[in-house]
Amino acid sequence: MTSFQLPTGAPGARILAFGHYQPSNVVTNDDLAKTVETNDEWIQSRVGIKQRRIAGPEESVVDMAVQAGGKALAASGLSPEDIDLVIVATCTQEAQIPNASASVADRLGIVAPGAYDVNAACAGFCYALSSAADAVRAGSARNVLVVGSEKLSQWVDWTDRSTCIIFADGAGAAVVSGSDDAAIGPVVWGSAGNQADRIFIKDRTGFLYQEGQAVFRWATTALHPIAKEACERAGVAPSDLAAFIPHQANLRIVEAIARKLKAENAIVADDIVNAGNTSAASIPLALSRMIERGDVPSGAPALLIGFGAGMTYAAQVVRIP
Amino acid sequence: MALSEQEILKGLGEIIEEIAGVEPSEVTPDKSFVDDLDIDSLSMVEIAVAAQDKFGVEIPDDELKNLKTVKDVIVYVQSKDVSA
């Protein structure tokens, strides 16, 4: 039997540009203290959040993804017609059908791309980024729009002070293209389905529930070895990292992983302070804002690690566009 | 050789200093983590994990909630210490 023809992919993949979007409505800790029994000092000491953004009732996961995706596309210098694959990482859509990615593509003028959603919860963006890099290297796509967009606010019980203080809304996006050099490192990913009952939404009318202490223990013990392995597999020492962008789950988880990673020269993303935990959106949102502020130079290596419900996790080193 | 009370106390002092910034001299057996040392439940999880690395004794969450004082942790570690 003769082998089928296969396309020739790019030798490597890189990120051309990022973009982000946050709803305009700012909700402070003092605002929350009016409706649930909590206070600013308690929230800041436990999760490190000062304020978060919450989408309006008419603002959807797709709306936010279109905003972030449009900015990433504009910054990349590519046209909508150059994009042939759109991947949206989300776990908080209003409904299961249709997917977000095809609608996002349509509204951005991207005609008939491959379009699928990824649900790996808060690890979703790193999964989607890895899939995008694989697609351009395999020749399945030339240019990919990768978006993380979440509206956690519509799945949170606003009378539950253990969750409503943490979760928020927003979107971040990246454009991935083929390149001669590998500027998106190999992914280290995995899951721990035996702990699936740690974070869940029971049914369609349910709210997001999480066992905070157990999740904290898992996140502060299981993930720094994954982060280190992602560095090793990319051939980058943790001390060479210019930035470390873990999922913005809780500032104390961020700090604990960073401390154990020993990336002493890296800026550690602390976007959660003003953005809250936006699940699959948190990494591209934090990194896009970091780049916008000029905190990290173009070409510098940055480590991403997403982790969340499932439990799922994924990490890779990327070069700052 | 089983770990002595002094060895565990010294190790705990180092752990608590790193995680919560408490002076090791403050960490004495009669101190309550929450009331005297101002350590919250998430820091207790980090202390439990670090104690496991240092003493080789696992402290699961459902046991951890019963350990209120420094002495409680010392007694727990000694009771589970496999080197004893």
pLDDT confidence bin for B83, thresholds 50/70/90: low
Cβ–Cβ contact A213 with B under 8 A: yes
DSSP string, B14-63: HHHHHHH---GGG--TT-BTTTTT---HHHHHHHHHHHHHHHS----HHH
Q: Tell me what pLDDT residue A301 has.
A: 98
Q: In chain A, which residue's Cα lies nearest the Cα of B65?
A: A213
CATH code, domain with B73: 1.10.1200.10
Q: Tell me what pLDDT residue B1 has.
A: 60
Same fold, A12-179 and A188-319: yes
The whole-angstrom distance between B19's CA and the closest CA on chain A is 9
Question: Using one digit for the tens of pLDDT, what is the confidence trace for A217-239?
Answer: 999 999 999 999 999 999 999 99
Where do the structural domains in chain A lie, given as residue ranges?
Answer: 12-179, 188-319
Chain B residues in contact with chain A using a Cβ-Cβ cutoff of 8 Å: 40-42, 45-46, 48-49, 61
- How many structural domains does chain B have? 1
Question: Using one digit for the tens of pLDDT, what is the confidence trace for B25-47?
Answer: 999 999 999 999 999 889 999 99
Three-state secondary structure string covering A167-194: ECEEEEEEEEEEECCCCECCCEEEECHH
- Closest by CA to A179, choosing from A320, A318, A7, A10, is A10
Q: In chain B, which residue's Cα lies nearest the Cα of A212?
A: B42
Q: How far is it, in rounded angstroms, from Cα A40 to Cα A64?
A: 28
CB contact under 8 A, A220 and B45: yes
The whole-angstrom distance between A304's CA and the closest CA on chain B is 23
For residue A184, list its beta bridge partners.
A318
In chain A, which residues have their Cβ closer than 8 Å to the Cβ of B48? 217
Q: Tell me what pLDDT residue A1 has.
A: 86
- B80 vs A72, residue with greater confidence: A72
Say if residue B81's pLDDT is above 80: no
CATH of domain A188-319: 3.40.47.10
In chain A, which residues have their Cβ closer than 8 Å to the Cβ of B41? 213
Q: Is residue A126 flagged as an active site residue?
A: no
Q: How far is it, in rounded angstroms, from Cα A313 to Cα A191?
A: 6
* pLDDT beneath 50, residues of chain A: none
Q: Tell me what pLDDT residue A180 has.
A: 97
Q: Tell me what pLDDT residue A257 has.
A: 95
Q: Tell me what pLDDT residue A75 has.
A: 98
CB B56 within 8 A of CB B80: no
- A276 vs B62, residue with greater confidence: A276
The domain in which residue B66 lies consists of 5-80
A45, A46, A213 member nearest B45 (Cβ): A213
Q: What residue type is assigned to position B55 of the chain?
A: F
CA distances from A142 to A10, A114, A249 (A): 8, 11, 32
Q: Is residue A277 flagged as an active site residue?
A: yes
Q: How far is it, in rounded angstroms, from Cα A95 to Cα A165?
A: 24
Cβ–Cβ contact A216 with B under 8 A: yes
Handedness of CA B61, B62, B65, B71 (dihedral sign): negative
Q: Tell me what pLDDT residue B82 has.
A: 66
pLDDT confidence bin for B3, thresholds 50/70/90: confident
Task: Classify domain A12-179 at the CATH topology level.
Answer: Peroxisomal Thiolase; Chain A, domain 1 (3.40.47)
**The whole model's pTM is what?**
0.94
In chain B, which residues have their Cβ closer than 8 Å to the Cβ of A222? none
Beta-carbon neighbour count of residue A190 at 10 Å?
A: 15
